[in-house]
Structure 1
Amino acid sequence: MTCIVVVNPASGSVPENAVDLIDTELAHLSISYDIQTVSSDTLQDTLSRAHETLSANDTLAIWSGDGSLACALELQRDNSPPILALPGGTMNMLHKRIHGDVTDWPAVLKNCLENRNELELASGLISGHRFYVGALFGKLTQLARAREIGRQGQPLKAVGEVLNTTDLLDLTPELVITSEDGNEFQANTMGVFVEDTVPDAFEAGIFSSISMLDLTTAALEALFMDWRIADGVDHIITRTLNVSCDTDHPIHVTLDGEPYDLECPLKLEFQPRSARVLTARQ
């Protein structure tokens, strides 16, 4: 078995000496391996070549954050190897979905290479983009832009981003959402989630209040209890969603934490088998 390890040093928690650290870990496992570092400019080409080089019995490991990992999953083909995702980002939402509570990267590496427990990931597809954990819709998702600027070490610019978002607190319902059974909702905020507990559909939480107090209350309830039963949230399970907007601007969306502006109308489709990964779950 051959293992290619792709390291993105720009990811939030990948250390400066990442190559030396992972070389030390792999040297104890008696396998053939190659470690490659990437930048944002070389990431896609490097991953494409790795998928072409390796067979289904080999392993492609990537030490990165959620964005780079999603890129690796997008490029996977039927004859590609399963992907070994090493947590190296700030939030690691996708890594937590794959590995559960196992967050220590050396433990993930050793467990996955020795046991090779394979897991098929479902995803959501929207306007050519996939998401593997969750998609958020509405004006409040613009806070993700400020978060990204803050992560780049520019806190004052991040504050300015919030202050310049003039419609951020305008909670007038502008999204029209239709589920596969024809039910229609008007909302200002929606979350759509890919959950392993619901293997063949999305779970969606739709919030339609125009009160900031109600929004804050629902957010706090969702933090400390099951969001599915929080006041003011419509919980639905569906395989498709159609989303339109009653204004002429794009819909603000975050997909697994990454911000996008997408033109209406939008169709979300549940994809039951989108990627194959190695998991450290027991």
Structure 2
Amino acid sequence: MTTTQSRPPIRHVEVVVNPLSGSAGPNAKAEAEAILEARGVKARVSTPEDGVVACLQRAIDAGPDLLAVVAGDGTARCAAEMSGPDGPLVAPLPGGTMNMLPRQLYGERDWRAALEEILDAGVVKSVSGGEVDGKMFFVAAILGAPAHWAEAREAVREGRMWLAVQRARRAMRRAFTGRLRYALDGGKMRKTEALTLMCPLVSTIMENDADFLEATAVDPASARDIFRLGFHAAVGDWRAAPSVEVDKCRYGAVWAGGRIPAILDGEPQRLSRTAQIKFRPNAFRALVPEVL
């Protein structure tokens, strides 16, 4: 569920910046420092020189009131997951390419405007999410063979077009080679080519305070359909995929013959052969603008 809470004082801010990510900009570190200095806030701005997780952990260990991230989707998801409901407030600012979670929290604001606004008059929002195979997601997840298209998308994003073509061909070869079995909320086992899970934050059929995930089983009838599904999964247009069957769930499980390819909040992952699904009503606390 997603609810607004009273705002605590913001005295200490930790910021993690990746100046090489999609929309952060090469001067992001200096710009963030200037914004914080202008407001007289105790702050430290760090870059992930020795890895994202280590950098985020140091920031969290410093005990800030707010952890702000100016980076890509993977870092935004990681910051929210590591902070959890009992850690610092999180501001996953739009510093990447797709900005799946930041767009839901900050709209079309760039990261500078969003940071200034939440420091001046932000409100606390408790954000729900989902968990699959022990990994969190806060916007949407897609499980199954179409997730292989994320690897092609990553190559396109890096400007490696020949690699993108190779990965697209491999994704097509993998179509229909390994169907999923799944069960939701203790129901009967079903088969599908792909299963998408959408959080209340982004679902078009649920309110923000809903207490379940939207589950969409997608069973394409042809290679053309699976191509379309892979494309829509890669660009984040989850509900535009063909052959859709919509359900909802608070828990479930999914099985496959091998490790399950997945996309969690726009980032490719590899899950176990058997993965548990859970709805998390209070996944983390975000600092957001008062009016989106």
1:47 aligns with 2:52: no
Residue 80 of structure 1 corresponds to 87
Deviation, 1:3, is 1.6
| Aligned residue number for residue 95 of structure 1 | 102
Residues 1:43 and 1:213: Cα distance change in structure 2 (over 3 Å): closer
Q: Report the CA distance between 1:202 and its aligned residue.
A: 0.6
Q: Secondary structure at the match of 2:83?
A: coil
In the superposition, the TM-score normalised over structure 1's length comes to 0.86
Pair 1:78–1:243, CA change in 2 (3 A): closer
Which of the numbers 13, 30, 34 marks the counterpart of 1:24?
34
- Residue 128 in 1 paired to residue 134 in 2? yes
1:70 paired to 2:77? yes
Assess, with a 3 A threshold, how the Cα gap between structure 1 residues 207 and 173 changes in structure 2: closer, same or farther: farther
Residues 185 and 115 from structure 1, CA distance in 2 versus in 1: closer, same or farther, beyond 3 angstroms? same
Q: 1:87-140: CA deviations, max 9, x gaps?
A: 1000000111222x2422222111111223011111211222111111111211
TM-superposed deviation, 1:216? 6.7
**1:253 aligns to 2:259 (yes or no):** no
Aligned to 1:146: 152
What pairs with 1:171-182 in structure 2 (closer than 5 Å)? 171=176, 174-182=179-187
For 1:34, the equivalent position in structure 2 comes to 44
Counterpart position of 2:113: 107
Instruction: Name the aligned partner's letter for residue 239 of structure 2.
Output: W
Corresponding residue number in structure 1 for 2:288: 279
Pick the structure with greater CA Rg: 1
Q: Which consecutive unaligned segments of at least 5 residues does structure 2 have? A: 1-10, 202-206
Q: More relative contact order in 1 or in 2 (CA 8 Å, sep 6+)?
A: 2
- One-letter identity of the residue aligned with 2:77: A
Matched-pair contact (CA < 8 Å) for 1:172–1:210: no
**Fraction of identical pairs, as percent:** 29
Seen in structure 2, the aligned counterparts of structure 1 residues 240 and 32 have a Cα distance that, compared at 3 Å, is same
Is 1:7 paired with 2:17?
yes
Q: Which residue of 1 aligns with 2:278?
A: 269
The match for 2:197 among 178, 192, 196 is 192
- For 2:157, give the aligned amino acid: R
Amino acid of the structure 2 residue aligned with 1:3: V
In 2: Cα distance, 1:269 partner to 1:175 partner: 17
Aligned residue pairs total 273
Q: Please report the TM-score for the alignment, with normalisation by the length of structure 2.
A: 0.83
Distance 1:166 1:16, change over 3 A: same
CA shift at 1:185, angstroms?
2.6
In 1, the alpha carbon distance for the partners of 2:150 and 2:85 equals 33
Separation (CA, whole Å) in 1 of partners of 2:38 and 2:288: 20
Deviation at residue 186 of structure 1 after TM alignment: 1.6
Deviation at 1:152, TM superposition (A): 2.0
